[in-house]
Amino acid sequence: MANERSAPPLPLTAARIGAPRSLAPRARLHTRIPVADRFREDVLAGLAARPKRIPPKYFYDERGSRLFELICELPEYAITRVETTLMERHRQEIAACLGTGVWLIEYGSGNSRKSRLLLEALRPAVYMPVDISLEMLEHAVRQLALDFPWLHIEAVWADYADAWELPQSGPQARRVAYFPGSSIGNFDPEDAQRFLARTARQVGEGGGLLIGIDLKREVDRLTRAYDDAGGVTAQFNLNLLLRINRELKGDFVPERFRHVAFYNEAFSRIEMHLQSVVHQQVTVAGRRFCFFAGEAMHTENSYKYSVQDFEALARCAGFRLKQSWIGAEEPFAVLYLEVS
C-alpha cells in the first residue's frame, strides 16, 4: 500500500510488554500495538498530506470487517473463492510442503477461515493468528478454541507492517508464515520487499511462507471487483468516514463523498479513493481540513503481480519459490517459498 510505510522498531511501552491474556484454556493473546492513539495520529497526518490519504488497515472496525465478509461473497470479487478452491483442492500437497508440527503464523488472519482448511492436515505445534482488529481476532480465536480443542493458539494483536518480536511461548518448532488474500498487494513493492525480508527473519533459515497473490488480468474484470454493482465495496470504503466520526469526533457527511476505484496501468495496481463531491470543510479531533470539489483521498492500493515478478521480489527478500498452485478459473496464485 502506497500509504503504508514500514515503521522503524517501536519503543517498548507498557502495552507492548504487558503479560499475555488468556482467551480459552489453550489460547492466549499477546499485545504488540504500541500506542492507543495511532489511528488519530495517522488520520490527522493523512488529512494534512497532499494528496490526502488514509492507510487501508483502518477499514477493519466491526462494521468494516462485516462488510469485507460480504465483499468475499460478491460475484465480482473472485479472490476469496478462487483461493479457497485452490486450498481445498491441494490441501494435502500444501500440508506436505509446509510440514506437520510447525508454528503457523498467519498475518491479517481475520476470521481465520483459510487457516481452518489446513489445521487438521498440518496439526501445527502452535497457530499464531496476527491481526490489527482486536474484536475480530478475539472472536476468531474463541471460535477456533471451540472447534479445535487440541490446538495451541498464541494470538498477536499487532500491525504486521511494524517491526515486532514474535512471542516465544509454546513448543518451539520450524516456523511457517501464511499471508492469504493477496493482502501483500496493499504494500508498495518496496514495502512489500521490506515486509518479506522481515518475515524471512521471523521464520528464520529453513522457515517457509505460504502466500496468496492476485495476478494481472483484463482491466474491466479487475475494476469491477473493486466497484461492484451492489455498492458493497463503496460502503466498505465510505465506512472509514463513519469510523473517523465515531472514534475521532469527526463530522464527515458520507453522502458528500463518492467511492472511486480504477486500475492504474503504470503501477499495475487498483486504486481506491474517496472523492469529495463538493467544496467542504471537515473537522476531525478538533482540527479543520478543507476538501475542494473533486478532491480525492487515497484509501487503498492493490498491486497485481505476475508469478515471475513476485518471485523476483521474494528472492531479494531471501525466499526461494518451492511450489505454486494457479487458479484454473481466475488468475490467482498460491505460492510456497522457503528461506534459503
Ligand X SMILES: C[S@@+](CC[C@H](N)C(=O)[O-])C[C@H]1O[C@@H](n2cnc3c(N)ncnc32)[C@H](O)[C@@H]1O
Site for ligand X, rule CB under 6 A: 57, 60, 68, 80, 108-110, 114, 130-133, 136, 159-161, 180-181, 183
* Residue 157 and residue 277 in contact, taking contact as beta carbons nearer than 8 Å: no
d(CA 168, CA 155): 12
Specify whether the CB–CB gap between 251 and 236 falls below 8 A: no
How many whole angstroms separate alpha carbon 36 and alpha carbon 39? Answer: 8
Strands 175-179, 257-264: pairing kind: unpaired
CA angle at 67 for the pair 66 and 69, rounded to the nearest 5°: 65
Nearer to ligand X, 114 or 298 (CB): 114
> Nearest 5 degrees, angle CA 208-CA 214-CA 218?
155
Least gap, CB of 293 to ligand X (angstroms): 31
Nearer to ligand X by Cβ, of 136 and 337: the residue is 136
Residue closer to ligand X by CB (options 179, 291) is 179
Residue 290 C-beta: closest distance to ligand X, Å: 29
- In the bound complex, what is the minimum distance in angstroms from residue 255's beta carbon to ligand X? 26
CB of 160 to ligand X, least distance (A): 4
Residue nearer to ligand X on the CB measure, 110 or 331: 110
Minimum Å distance from CB 280 to ligand X?
A: 28
Q: Are strands 103-107 and 175-179 parallel, antiparallel or unpaired?
A: parallel
Give the H or E element holding residue 236.
helix 232-248
- Please enumerate in sequence order all residues whose Cβ is within 8 A of that of 193, keeping only pairs 6 or more positions apart, or say none: 313, 316, 317
CB of 233 to ligand X, least distance (A): 12
Spatial distance between the Cα atoms of 82 and 195, rounded to a whole number of angstroms: 24
Which residue number, 161 or 248, has a Cβ lying nearer to ligand X?
Answer: 161
Nearer to ligand X, 183 or 276 (CB): 183
